[in-house]
Amino acid sequence: MKSILPLAAVFLAVVHQGGCAVLRPRAENFKLFAYSGEDMVGLNVFASDGLVYAGDSSSLDKSSISNLTISTDDARDSTWHVTVDSSNGSSTGYWTIQASDSGLETVSVSTSQDSGTTTGFGLYGAWAYHISSSGDIEMNYRATPTETDGLYLIKWDPTSTTDDSATAVQLRTQSPVPVTKDKN
């Protein structure tokens, strides 16, 4: 299996040469899946109590879990509008990165655009990025372990430095290829 990182480098090189037109594609109603090497192959990305997780949601209170569907309604405005579906019904929010004391930043779905960074998000092909204030394309999502095996809290590394407890993940719109199970 090929490593994801060289591929990301290729994409970044292409993005830089492509100019602005490719940086802000309009995209409607996509879902995200988390990938990291062979350990995380298309984990489902969802929210619980507003925070964004990936992986096995079975240990969480079902009523707290929301499915997320994202769209960008304006090609120039790189805000991600999130439709949040839970047992309480459907609502809308914004994909948000919020500074936090721990170094890694919180990734959440917030109801207000004032609670953190809600602009600068985009997709390059199937890959989620954030464009920094200096114009750099960043793919700094991290998966931090929780008490449940296979369940990760998604965070953002503002400095691109490696945090020991966090795994670099790619958030992609591509769902995992289903594994064919041998029924015998």
Ligand X SMILES: *[C@@H]1O[C@H](CO)[C@@H](O)[C@H](O)[C@H]1NC(C)=O
Helix (H, G, I), strand (E, B) or coil at 169: coil
Count other C-beta atoms under 10 Å from residue 177's C-beta.
Answer: 8
Instruction: Please identify, among the stretches 79-87, 127-135, 158-166, 176-184, the one whose residues bind ligand X according to the rule CB under 6 A.
Output: 79-87
Q: Is 66 in the site for ligand X (CB under 6 A)?
A: yes
* Contact flag: residue 111 with ligand X (CB under 6 A): no
Q: Three-state SS for 44?
A: strand
Residue 104 CB partners (closer than 8 Å, separation 6+): 142, 144, 155, 156, 157, 158, 163, 166
Enumerate the β-bridge partners of residue 109.
95
Smallest separation (angstroms) from ligand X to the CB of 120: 26
CA distance linking residue 159 with residue 18, whole number of Å: 25
The smaller minimum CB distance to ligand X, of residues 84 and 143, is found at 84
How many Å is the Cα radius of gyration of the chain? Answer: 16
Q: Cβ of residue 180: shortest distance to ligand X, in angstroms?
A: 20
Q: Which residue has the tokens 């015998």?
A: 184
The stretch near ligand X (CB under 6 A) out of 61-69, 93-101, 119-127, 133-141 is: 61-69
Establish if 63 lies at the interface with ligand X (CB under 6 A): yes
What size, in residues, is the chain?
Answer: 184
One of 51, 56, 64, 138 touching ligand X (CB under 6 A): 64
How many chain residues bind ligand X (CB under 6 A)? 9
Q: Strand, helix or coil at 60?
A: coil
Cβ atoms of 107 and 154 within 8 Å: the answer is yes
- Contact flag: residue 85 with ligand X (CB under 6 A): yes
Figure out which of the listed residues 88, 92, 100, 102 binds ligand X, where binding follows CB under 6 A. 88
Q: Which residue is nearest to ligand X (CB)?
A: 86
Site string for ligand X, 139-178 (x = CB under 6 A): ----------------------------------------
Q: What residues make contact with ligand X under the rule CB under 6 A?
A: 49, 63-64, 66-67, 85-88
